[in-house]
Structure 1
């Protein structure tokens, strides 16, 4: 598995999930802009990996900016994820260096090398995937599983009434990915808003009496507190990014519908909307599986087991 992240709080949980699951060999983490700048996202990823003793997993930097404009961090990202991207919790600084190889080049080479055995999970903007498709579409078509956290088909967006954050960061890249004929599983707000974590669960992490458990509880409790302020109706924080990792491993966590998806790139009220592509409505081939329902109880049970086992392993 390769994780493509913009390491905020839920990306940190996605990294932990991938490290924890025994089915996964995590061969690299690739960072981009989004919740925070690409450089800081990469260092957050290194520090999270090292906290879980995954010091053999390299970290790469991909794109620093969207395909068609310059990245600028928005205030809501600092509010939700903290100034440093991980709830303003200080982790031990890794002694490792970020890889000098460009992250997009790494993704393309891995796609060509591992083919159907490779899973890519993107939990930030789709810029790195779009860039990889532009660089070598044939190699990217070999990948066995590309699962993204992004989009909103049946529910409103979370940055505008129609736009989900990862798509809104680079709609041009997302549209290029969705319309490329490469098979994608879209784990969007339709299911992630139903998959919630509370301080009851993070207390169990603290109860492990491990530094990793305490630190992750501190990070996620920050997130839960923000959700209590912004989305009090939910009753917890959404497990956006770790759900995408879970679905990539076990697709039976969700129910999907097959669609051809496009993203609106015009700068109007519908900017960055994910919606069915009317030009391909009659195309017998569909390339996107859109998650529309989730077995949230079973997922949370597996999620908690993975995390508790991981924390115990760091003792």
Structure 2
């Protein structure tokens, strides 16, 4: 029988169990507010402290925020959790708006990629992405910023961005500010945009392998 949602383990339990099992082999990727990571630290700080890396999308360090003039959404939703994670001494990489706003996907690039692999999956991706492009266009942007995909990509390949070791403090409204003292994280800065976009599109719709006439 299929287990009900009430019987399934929660995100915090899954995170802690994975940390206990895999230790340094595990990379945690947080694409939303840091609530679950903070709760996992509360449950077993020792296990979470042994993970190889934590990559979190969030913050606006040297650029304006997207929900207030100084705060990014994920940090604004749960600033206390962000503070706890930053204070935990984790191998923490933050991917803020400073970087993700450079990771802009042009509409033409998406259409060209989807056009080479037509089918129902491509059609669904096209329909979903068009909404994102419309929102971005309404905000005056030239394309769609790939916030979460960039965080996942740098978890796989950290060389896609330039990193800066800093000490970040989180304010009561989720504003992320540089502070004095020893670094507590790295923040992503300059993005190798062309390489990232190519990686993203190739993973989304892998190029068709063309066989030679002699094969």
Q: Same fold (TM over 0.5)?
A: yes
Equivalent of 2:155, from 236, 244, 248?
Answer: 248
Q: CA-atom RMSD, angstroms? A: 2.0
1:287 to partner: Cα distance = 2.8
1:277 to partner: Cα distance = 3.0
Aligned equivalent of 1:272:
174
Deviating above 4 A after TM superposition, structure 1's stretches of 4 or more consecutive aligned residues are: 95-99
**1:206–1:214 contact (8 Å) kept in structure 2:** no
Q: Which 5+ residue runs of structure 2 have no aligned equivalent?
A: 210-215
C-alpha distance after superposition, 1:253-284 (max 9, x if no partner): 0111111212002xxxxx21111233xx1x3x
Equivalent of 1:202, from 88, 99, 110?
Answer: 110
Alignment partners' CA distance in 2, 1:237 and 1:176 = 31
TM-score by length of 2: 0.90
Equivalent of 1:216, from 122, 125, 131?
Answer: 125
Matched, 1:300 2:197: yes
Aligned equivalent of 1:290:
187
C-alpha distance after superposition, 1:176-228 (max 9, x if no partner): 11111112100010010011112212212244112121111111110111110
Equivalent of 2:143, from 236, 239, 246?
Answer: 236
**SS state at 2:70 partner:** coil
Sort the Cα spacing of 1:259 and 1:311 in 2 relative to 1 into closer, same or farther, 3 A.
farther
Between structure 1 and structure 2, the one with the greater Rg is 2
1:1-315 pair list within 5 angstroms: 98=5, 100-203=8-111, 204-230=113-139, 232=140, 234-265=141-172, 271-278=173-180, 281=181, 283=182, 286-309=183-206
Aligned equivalent of 1:34:
none
Alignment partners' CA distance in 2, 1:101 and 1:311 = 39
1:118 to partner: Cα distance = 0.7
TM-score by length of 1: 0.62
Alignment partners' CA distance in 1, 2:3 and 2:195 = 36
